[in-house]
Amino acid sequence: MKDGEHLRVEDLELYALGALPDDEAESLKEHVTDCAECSTKLAEAHGNAAVLAFTAPQEQPAGTVKAELMARVRANRESEDRYAWPLDAKRLGRVTNGPGKRAGTSNWLNWMLVPAALALALVSFALSWQNRKLAEQLKKEEQRASIYIQDRKEAERLLTVLASPDTQTVKLVGTSEEANASGVVRYNGRMGTLLYSVDLPALPAGKTYQIWLVPVNGAPIGAGIFGASETRQGRLLTAEVPANTRAKAFAVTIEPAGGVPQPTGPKVLLGTS
């Protein structure tokens, strides 16, 4: 098989059903080892085979089947006895168990049914195991898809904020405590969304940075805390504040770990709307 080619769905389904010739089955197994797409399709084929096995209608035999089968066995025995030479019953492998009954017949049927029942049990176990593996794989893929959808929605929301004409941009500059610090805030009051990036030094243990929205009226509103690892230049941080809040200024202070309801520490960044 050439590079980039994929197996036919019919071959994968035949393999899942155990109906593919041995040489083709070996070639198929080698291919799916290195081909993620065909490996996924093979898992789907196994799942389809499992569903087919468990959803196929079960036929209930008529109640007279066993009686008819036993009658035929007795008729055949009687026909053999009519034309056979007189032989000892033990040499014929038959032991009578009362008039018209032979213990060997029941044992023979039991030994014929045991391998079939065992084979069915093995097939059912294999299909059940494959079905569980497929269900686990499907659950993982659903989780990945859910995370992807959430990330995409968040990215779309942030792009909407950045592109909105009523989003204001405020430059943050360092104060006397941290003259080399800088940052920028993009705020949309209608949405109540705050986007910001900062360039600040590492903090001592037990301290955190906290950003504040200073409204036109009222006390400062805490808009989130962040640590030294989140202060790299260009990293975009987000926060939510009450919608339709008119901002007069934005500030960043140094506070105890976990943040505080109102600013208490020194200001390191400040910007006015």
Considering its fold, how many domains does the chain have in total? 3
Same domain assignment for residues 123 and 173: no
DSSP-derived secondary structure letter, 231: -
Residue 175, domain CATH: 2.60.40
Q: Are residues 150 and 202 in the same domain?
A: no
CA distances from 106 to 69, 94, 117, 219 (A): 11, 12, 16, 93
Could you read off the pLDDT tens digit of each residue along the chain, which spans 273 residues? 555 577 888 788 778 777 778 888 888 888 888 888 888 888 887 776 665 555 545 555 555 655 665 566 566 656 655 544 444 444 444 444 444 444 445 554 455 555 566 666 667 767 777 777 788 888 888 888 888 788 788 788 888 888 999 999 999 999 876 667 889 999 999 999 999 999 888 888 999 999 999 999 999 999 999 987 776 656 788 999 999 999 999 999 999 999 999 999 999 999 998
CB 216 within 8 A of CB 192: no
Strands 267-272 and 193-199: unpaired
**Are both 88 and 137 inside the same structural domain?**
yes
Q: How far is residue 168's CA from residue 154's CA, in Å, rounded to a whole number?
A: 20
Last residue of a domain, one of 120, 137, 160: 160
In a domain, 217, yes or no: yes
- If asked whether residues 151 and 196 sit together in one domain, one would say no
Residue 4 lies in a domain: no
Tokens standing for residue 263: 């600013």
Reported pTM: 0.48
How far is CA 67 from each of CA 63, 112, 113, 163, 233, rounded to the nearest angstrom? 8, 17, 16, 83, 87
Distance separating alpha carbons of residues 267 and 269, to the nearest angstrom = 6
Note down the domain range covering 96. 65-160
CA dihedral over 62, 63, 64, 69, signed as positive or negative: positive
